[in-house]
Structure 1
Amino acid sequence: MTFSVTLIDLVGYAALLLWGTHMVRSAVERALGPRLKAVLARALRNRWQGFAAGLAITALLQSSTATAFMVSGFAAAGLVGLVPALAAMLGANVGTTLIVQVLSFDVAAAAPALILAGFIMFRSARGSVAHDLGRAVIGLGLILLALHQLVDLMRPLEDAPSLRLLLGAVATVPVLDVILAAALTWAVHSSVAVVLIVMSLASQGVVPPNAAFALILGANLGSALAPALEATGGSEPAARRLPVGNLINRVLGVALALAFIEPIGRFMVTLQGDPGRAAADFHTLFNLVTAALFLPALGPFSKLLRRLYPDRADAADPTRPLYLSPGAHDTPIVAVGAAAREALRLADTVDHMLAGARDALLHGDRRRMAETQQMDDILDRLNSEIKTYLTALDPADLTTADRARVDEILTFATNMEQAGDVVNRNLLLHASKRLNRGLSFSPEGRTELQALLDRLGDNVRLAASLFMTADPRAARLLAGEKAAFRASESLATRTHFDHLRSGLVHLAEASTLHLDLIRDLKLINAHIVAAAAYPVLERSGELLVSRLSEDAAAPPA
């Protein structure tokens, strides 16, 4: 095999490994979704559970680099604490030693079965948690396959004269061994593959034991390089704490081991006569000792990392609360007013989402569709922050009016967030369906949809004003909008059935989509009315318990 073909194969399998890692990570995030914080809070409650979780995750994902990327993302998002996250990385480093032991057997034979099982889950459970977990299982199979192929591809290079010459030159300089193995591990994003190669080289006598141990140290160092380098290129300092902290742990551990490489080498050779097995045992021993040294010191170490990389509030971040000052908790009237002001940002976001949905539905603007989908994160974050902020107030410090206002703010925020969910999950889905299937609205249907979307925008702005003024006249005006949307739904339903009765099959699918959209717009309007009009009408005694007439509602005599 020529050098160019071998190089292409190496890069290709490394890319497959990275893609498998990406599939697992993204699938886990999609499957867990909003529950991710609760799941990780249970799994990474403290440093010891974090250590165990990191070990288990790495054993499952077959890559400490994959674990580093995942835990770094969770820590940067504030889903886990820094101390258990650092402990998870120490556990991940130990987890790689288990993988080396397991991969000494032919576990790659399980890769096709994993890919097949993942494919079946992915195809048979579309839109469910099992669908996303199917992607994760496929990714696991790809990781196993890529690791096996990388090791097999590089094994014949052991007998290459140029490789033996290079290794002989650096074998007497442990620092060069560390640098060489670290660079190779960073390039292929797998310390497991490099450790297995070093074990094979040691077993063949290509490298002496001390050189093999130094190469093992380099592989451990290289596994921490990729996450640290990626985080360093980012703009958020807090996101750098975990990967840089893990790299510091690796550097200090490698430096300590290098200082005692000679006595350690003699001890390992005496303990294990087989050079290959001695390399594997050294890999395990190094990570266990490093974990034992750093686990007790993670508290002070995390404080140092926070000082090096402090939180930086990004004024341009639309998901960050602007008015929820913690200091206002001592003055409830100020805190309640701040929460009300923050809640108005939800109305503004829903207004922008409706404008984006209109462009996506009527003009097929995919860019606006993507932008509108991202706005749903703003609603989720702000709604959660407002709830947390208000529920932290001491009820004993609140008057009856204060408690009523808190309830109104929570009702407003919840309904606005739910209205945004309907836009994101329903309207944008219909817009995508229309584009993918090439459906078009009739001129009358297009005009009606545009008018209703514009009307919804007006209602959102009216609800925001009503939320601040509590004017009963505006509340009655907003509540009356429900009748207009009910009338539109009734008209769309009759038109749809007329198309079906007339046998106009080519119009049936478009009218079905039109009817679904009208119903979704009606649902959004219902949330808007419930957000602002109903609390005011209920307080003034103008809100009926039921729409049934008194005669129909009365029990029979």
Structure 2
Amino acid sequence: MGDFNLTSLIFSIIGGLGLFIFGIKIMGDGLQKVAGQRMKDIIGYLTDNRFVGMGLGTLVTSVIQSSSATTVMLVGFVNAGLITLIQAIPVMLGAAVGTTITAQLIAFRLTDYALPIIGVGSAMYLFGKRKRTKQIGEAILGFGILFLGLNIMSSGVKPLGQSAVVRSSFTRFSHNILLGILVGTIATAVIQSSSVTTGIILALAGVGLLDLRGAIPLVLGANIGTCITALLASIGTNLSAKRLAVAHVVFKVVGALIALILFPLYFLLTIRSSGNLMRQIANFHTIFNITNAALFIGFTPLFARMMKKIVPGKEVVIEHGPKYLAKDLLNTPSIAIDAAKKEILRTLKFTKGMVQDAMDAFYDEDLKKIQNVISREEIIDELQDSITAYLVKITEKEISETEAAMIPALLHSINDIERIGDHAMNLADFAERKIDHGLKFSGKYIEEIKKIELLINEMMDDAVKALPELDKALAKSMLDKEDRINRLVIEYRTAHTERLTNGVCSHRSGIVFIDMLMNFEKIGDHLTNIAQAIQGKLQWNGDDV
């Protein structure tokens, strides 16, 4: 195979690849700190313009340097109901274009300047006074480490380029396109980064082990393999999020098939784009993704409908944002207060659903129910902020003494409802802990949990009915139930201590049981606050929601 040290070769490849991957991560982290959160916020407030969406996807991914990260972010946003499938698809298309920036940077072959770049980045990171200077320094440091790793990796594999056997093996990729795609797909699925795979391809091409005809199938495979990250992220999500992950696969696979059919044309365009092999490979990566995105962007609605056929099922649509808080109502404070009450009742119903889903997840060990709770929690927080801001604006108007006295009661009520949502999140966390650790609960424990849960559900049902009609009798019923909950909690804690002493239950299951009792008790306390508001100053003149 030629004269080279096998140990040195292996160490160079492992160390160089490690530095290369680490450099990409450090650079991405630095860039995300500089502008990443702003980019996420932009995605969260997408318009319905598909071209704007694609542009945002390109911009965000070129900043965070990972199409997988952008797509996973989109899966999360769609699952949470922040954006729709049809809004997410153009961003996903743009992400494919944005990720090609890494390959273009690598093709500049700045390996000779890796150490000075690292020096500049380190100085900015270590000695910078401002936070932003340190963040930019971190990105530059990662950029330099990336090229240092590439240099070490290229130096390590360079002797292989002198081996006729090795060169012959790599030449097979030039003659077996499907094998090249398969290898690129598997490698990227394992590494979970098309940028890393493309970097390795460029390194191999740089030392003469790959020509353009052999590199193109590997690049196509890298584009397909990157879909694995979004597919994994979609496990346990809602239908729309799953459809987006599948859309990502279809987008890449169909694009690769088109590239194979039009291989001579792609090859000719790439050859003419540059006289440098590494630049040609980077250009193919860019040309492929731009062409693919341009092809799909015109058929976004059709593409979204097709995903509904491929991943069938009925979606549960969760509405985000306030439904009743119209700005024009603020000029008539009494009507605006009624609107706020309706929104509070709507929020209470969301919260009731969270508690129900959390307990269903606990009994049935259903991860989807846990995800539902997490998604709803974001909605509750958003509604609390909107309702609070709306009530504050009402206080700035000329209002009667009765209305002025009503505002604090409403503010306290929405805060209590939000806190119930937090406790529902805790209950969902206990369900997840039960699943993850295989915790077992005896029939007696489940019976006790269900008794308290039943009282909590009855209190929440009473609250939903009592609020619209200002039903003081139902409010009194809520207070009576809360007293029963408190008595049961004390009784069950005592019984649990006895069972624990007698070795009837495990310590870990016992901790979860006690924590659940505490959270049920807190939910009862917050519902009591709402009942007291109903009995006191809260007035309700609106219809039921």
Shared fold per TM-score greater than 0.5: yes
Describe the shift of the 1:14–1:381 C-alpha distance in structure 2 as closer, same or farther (beyond 3 A).
farther
Q: CA, structure 1 residues 176+459, in 2 after alignment: closer, same or farther (shift >3 Å)?
A: closer
- Distance verdict in 2 for CA 1:24–1:7, change over 3 Å: same
- 1-side partners of 2:293 and 2:66: how far apart? 18
Hey, what does 2:199 align to over in structure 1?
A: 196
Distance 1:68 1:86 in 2: 10
Partner of 1:63: 66
Q: Is the Cα contact below 8 Å between 1:467 and 1:532 reproduced in 2?
A: no
| 2:287 is aligned with 1:290 | no
2:216 aligns with: 213
Paired letter, 1:343: L
Q: Percent identity, aligned pairs only?
A: 21
2:278 aligned partner, one-letter code: G
**Structure 2: where are the runs of 5+ without partners?**
1-6, 324-340, 359-369, 388-406, 426-454, 480-521, 541-545
**Would you say 1:92 and 2:91 are equivalent positions?**
no
Q: Does structure 2 retain, via aligned residues, the 8 Å contact 1:75–1:239? A: yes
**Does residue 276 of structure 2 align to residue 274 of structure 1?**
yes
Deviation at 1:277, TM superposition (A): 2.0
Aligned: 1:255 with 2:254: no
Alpha-carbon separation, structure 1, partners of 2:424 and 2:24: 30
CA contact (8 A) 1:183 1:222 kept: yes
Query: Over residues 162-198 of structure 1, what are the superposed CA-to-partner deviations in whole Å (9 max), with x where a residue is unaligned?
Result: 6434312332111211222222222222322332333
1:77 shift after superposition: 1.9
Q: Is the 8 A contact 1:62 1:144 kept in 2?
A: no
| Distance in 2 between residues matched to 1:343 and 1:281, nearest whole Å | 54
Partner Cα distance (2:288, 2:53) in 1:
19
Q: Which residue of 1 aligns with 2:403?
A: none
Task: Give the drift of 1:65.
Answer: 1.8
Residue 55 of structure 1 deviates from its aligned partner by 0.8
Q: How far apart are 1:98 and its partner, in Å?
A: 2.4
1:13 shift after superposition: 5.5
Q: Give the aligned residue type for 1:95.
A: G
Distance 1:274 1:539, change over 3 A: closer
CA contact (8 A) 1:50 1:87 kept: yes
Pick from 164, 167, 170: which aligns with 1:164?
167
Judged with a 3 Å threshold, the aligned counterparts in structure 2 of structure 1 residues 237 and 197 are, in CA distance, closer, same or farther, namely: same
Q: 1:167 to 1:292 in 2, by over 3 A?
A: same
Q: Which residue does the alignment assign to 1:299?
A: 301
Q: Does residue 343 of the first structure (1) align with residue 348 of the second (2)? A: yes
How far apart, in 2, do the equivalents of 1:240 and 1:313 lie?
A: 11
Deviations 1:499-553 (CA, angstroms, capped at 9, x unpaired): xxxxxxxxxxxxxxxxxxxxxxxx9999767634344433789xxxxxxxxxxxx
Q: Secondary structure at the match of 1:538?
A: coil
8 A Cα contact 2:184 2:197, kept in partner: yes
| Counterpart mapping for 1:55-204 below 5 A | 55-103=58-106, 104=108, 105=110, 109=118, 112=122, 121=131, 144=143, 147-148=146-147, 151-155=150-154, 156-160=156-160, 161=163, 163-204=166-207
Distance 1:418 1:24, change over 3 A: farther
Q: Is the 8 A contact 1:347 1:461 kept in 2?
A: no
Structure 2 equivalent of residue 245 of structure 1: 247
1:297-340 CA-to-partner distances (Å, cap 9, x unmatched) read 111011111232245568xx9x999xx9xxxxxxxxxxx99995
Q: State the 1:52 CA deviation.
A: 1.0
Q: CA deviation at 1:25?
A: 12
In 1, the alpha carbon distance for the partners of 2:460 and 2:217 equals 68
Deviations 1:79-115 (A, max 9, x none): 1222332211221121122232234345863664686
Q: Distance in 1 between matches of 2:87 and 2:124?
A: 30
Counterpart residue type for residue 103 of structure 2: V
Q: Indicate conservation of the 8 Å contact 2:270/2:284, yes or no.
A: yes
Q: What is the alpha-carbon distance in structure 2 between the residues aligned to residue 225 and residue 47 of structure 1?
A: 25
Output the CA distance in 2 between the equivalents of 1:270 and 1:466.
71
**What is the aligned partner in structure 2 of residue 508 from structure 1?**
none
Counterparts of residues 491-502 of structure 1 (less than 5 Å): none
Q: C-alpha separation between the residues in 2 aligned to 1:460 and 1:29?
A: 44
- Structure 1 unpaired stretches of 5+: 122-129, 325-335, 354-371, 390-406, 426-457, 480-522, 542-557
- The one-character-per-residue Cα deviations of 1:122-147 (angstroms, maximum 9, x if unpaired) are xxxxxxxx9xx99x989967865774
Q: 2:52 aligns with which of 49, 54, 57?
A: 49
Distance in 2 between residues matched to 1:43 and 1:192, nearest whole Å = 26
**1:65 partner letter:** S
Q: Can you list the C-alpha shifts for 1:256-278, whole angstroms capped at 9, x where unaligned?
A: 11123234324433443322222
- Give distance in 1, aligned partners of 2:377 and 2:191: 40
Q: 1:141-540 residue pairs with structure 2 within 5 A?
A: 144=143, 147-148=146-147, 151-155=150-154, 156-160=156-160, 161=163, 163-228=166-231, 230-231=232-233, 233-234=235-236, 236-310=238-312, 343=348, 346=351, 381=379, 414-420=414-420, 465=462, 468=465, 470=470, 531-538=530-537
Residues 1:472 and 1:282: Cα distance change in structure 2 (over 3 Å):
closer
**Separation (CA, whole Å) in 2 of partners of 1:45 and 1:28:** 27
Q: 1:269 to 1:11 in 2, by over 3 A?
A: closer
Find the residue that maps to 2:82 and give its secondary structure: coil
Distance change in 2, residues 1:539/1:211 (3 Å):
closer
**Aligned mates of 1:387, 1:238 — CA distance in 2:** 26
1:271/1:235 CA distance change after superposition, 3 Å: closer
Q: Is the 8 A contact 1:44 1:53 kept in 2?
A: no
Q: Against the structure 1 CA distance between its residues 16 and 118, is the aligned structure 2 distance closer, same or farther, given a 3 Å change threshold?
A: farther
